[in-house]
């Protein structure tokens, strides 16, 4: 799990990581579109962690707020929004990136495989988390984004 570069997302005091080789782009968008099935049916409420959808090169990509998924305050308010797009085979997931600025350090960064070489990966049995990497007491949670994608697809397909 620590054998490749990681894209880090710093949200509040937490740091989440995804495999950098799964990231196909980080794009900026002014807004998210609401899925029609969540707009029309009053009984269907979109889960809070799903921000909406964007399109990229003809693909419709569901965007989630990873902080909100883990019970943290929403990542951003008004646009423009940065979205990290992760892809495996024909499946894509957008993760809302934290807003830059606000006087804090960078919100997106990388941890290179050379920096990970001597670090211990501790597997964790937690929803959507594969494990923990702890460089210098930072405690980085490695996100199981494919499991999040599967769960998001189930939510979206059950409403159609």
Return the pLDDT at 107.
Answer: 83
Question: Residues in the chain with pLDDT < 70?
Answer: 1-2, 35-46, 74-79, 99-106, 159-160
CATH of domain 6-158: 2.40.50.180
Return the pLDDT at 36.
Answer: 64
Return the pLDDT at 157.
Answer: 77
Return the pLDDT at 92.
Answer: 92
Return the pLDDT at 44.
Answer: 55
Evaluate if pTM is beyond 0.85: no
pLDDT in tens, 84-116: 999 988 889 999 987 665 444 458 899 999 988
Q: How far apart are CA 91 and CA 152, in angstroms?
A: 11
Name the token pair of 45.
């409420």
Residue ranges covered by each domain of the chain: 6-158
Burial class (CB in 10 A: 0-12, 13-18, 19+), 61: buried
């Amino acid at each position: 799990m620590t054998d490749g570069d990681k894209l880090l997302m710093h949200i509040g005091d937490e740091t989440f990581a995804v495999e950098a080789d799964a990231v196909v782009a980080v794009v900026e968008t002014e807004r998210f579109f609401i899925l029609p099935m969540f707009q029309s049916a009053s009984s269907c409420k979109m889960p809070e962690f799903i921000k909406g959808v964007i399109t990229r090169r003809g693909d419709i990509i569901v965007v989630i707020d990873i902080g909100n998924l883990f019970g943290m305050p929403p990542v951003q308010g008004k646009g423009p929004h940065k979205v990290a797009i992760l892809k495996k085979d024909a499946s894509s997931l957008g993760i809302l990136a934290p807003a830059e600025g606000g006087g804090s350090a960078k919100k997106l960064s990388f941890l290179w495989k050379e920096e990970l070489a001597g670090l211990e990966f501790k597997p964790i049995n937690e929803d959507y988390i594969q494990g923990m990497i702890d460089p210098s007491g930072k405690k980085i949670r490695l996100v199981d984004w494919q499991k999040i994608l599967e769960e998001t697809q189930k939510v979206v397909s059950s409403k159609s």
